[in-house]
Amino acid sequence: MSVFLATSLAPQIDLRLLRRDYFDGVSLLLQDADGVPYDLANVQVCASIFKNTISGTVEQVTSLNIEEQEPLRNGTVRLWLSSAQTALVWDAAASVGPANISQAFFPSAYTAENSSDFLSNSALGWDLRIERKEEIADLVSISAGTFISQTNHGLGATERVIFEGTAQSSINYNGTGARIYTNLTNITYAPPYSFTIASLSGITDAAPGGSVYRLKQDTVVAGSVFVGTTFSNCFP
């Protein structure tokens, strides 16, 4: 297993897989621009392999399995694939065209020797993304789903927001998608700073307390995926 240091600069790390082989994976240390590890208790992590189709669209092939390492505050995750998943990756590469398949046996020790068998541009790629909350502003009041903040919230219409610490317990984030709110309207960036959430039109509170948070997404790592064939067929 290889270990890489992943920062917010989104380095490129290419994955080299073998059809039907279990991919032991990579361990990644996720940290912010200041070199501080992300506390995995406070972020959501997702990673997937995708293909660029002949028609120019992008389709997900499979999600990489994510194992968050203890202690979570150290920001280390392990990504891995089952043998069934590497077979799916092979099928995806083959569906784009035979040129996307390497016939070389390429454990990492032989990468240099077999470099001519690798694609310079694979039709398969992968990325790892995180979503973390960023406190925007304290709340002053709520009127029929219109939220007034103490300072300029800087929110955009398409952002995902959550609330924490308000007197309205039904809207406070509880770790589920049902408490993530989108489709913001009537946004103002001058006093009174406000935005409206139509689905919360029944909420009114003159002194709700608490804060609004933006869910901020970042691509931490991205790269190409190369898949090679296996020759022996000792197992079913």
pLDDT average, residue stretch 97-119: 45
**Inter-residue long-range contacts of 205-209, CB under 8 Å, 24+ positions, other chains counted:** 205/141, 205/142, 205/166, 205/167, 205/168, 206/141, 207/140, 207/141, 207/167, 208/139, 208/141, 208/142, 208/166, 208/167, 208/168, 209/138, 209/139, 209/165, 209/166, 209/167
Confirm if 113 and 62 have CB atoms less than 8 A apart. Answer: no
Question: Which of 41-50, 57-66, 209-218, 220-229 is predicted least confidently?
Answer: 220-229
- Model pLDDT, residue 9: 56
Domain at 183, CATH number: 2.40.30.180
| Range with top average pLDDT, 3-7, 56-60, 105-109, 121-125 | 56-60
Residue 125 domain-assigned (yes or no): yes
* Strand blocks (E) in 7-160: 15-18, 23-30, 43-52, 58-63, 65-68, 76-81, 124-143, 146-149
User: Considering the domain boundaries, does residue 72 fall inside one?
Assistant: yes
Instruction: Tell me whether residue 66 is in a domain.
Output: yes
Looking at residue 101, what is its pLDDT?
57
One domain, residues 125 and 146: no
User: At CA 36, angle to CA 32 and CA 42, rounded to 5?
Assistant: 75
- pTM assigned to the model: 0.76
pLDDT score of 55:
83
Q: What is the pLDDT of residues 43-86, one digit of tens each?
A: 999 999 999 888 888 899 999 999 999 999 999 999 999 999 99
Confidence label for 164 from pLDDT (cuts 50, 70 and 90): very high
- Establish if 234 belongs to a structural domain: no
On the question of pLDDT at 206 being above 90, the answer is yes
Residue 169 is predicted with a pLDDT of 97
What's residue 227's pLDDT? Answer: 87
- Specify the number of domains making up the chain: 2
Whether the CB-CB separation of 141 and 149 falls below 8 Å is answered with no
Q: Among the listed ranges 50-54, 69-73, 109-113, 212-216, which one has the minimum average pLDDT value?
A: 109-113
Strand order in the sheet with 76-81: 2-6, 23-30, 76-81, 65-68
Please indicate, yes or no, whether residues 223 and 207 belong to a single structural domain of this protein: no
pLDDT digits (tens, 9 = 90+) for 166-181: 999 999 999 899 999 9
The pLDDT score that the predictor gives to residue 210 is 98
pLDDT at 145: 98
**Which of 5-9, 10-14, 36-40 is most confident?**
36-40
DSSP-assigned letter for residue 38: P
Task: Judge if 73 and 39 occupy the same domain.
Answer: yes
Assess if residue 233 is contained within a domain: no
Tell me whether residue 25 is in a domain. Answer: yes
Instruction: Answer yes or no: do 163 and 123 share one domain.
Output: no
Residues 143 and 83 in one domain: no
> Which CATH number does the domain housing residue 12 bear?
2.60.40
Domain-located, residue 194: yes
- Two structure tokens written together for 166: 């308000």
Look up the domain containing 158 and give its range.
Answer: 133-216
95 and 48 belong to one structural domain: yes
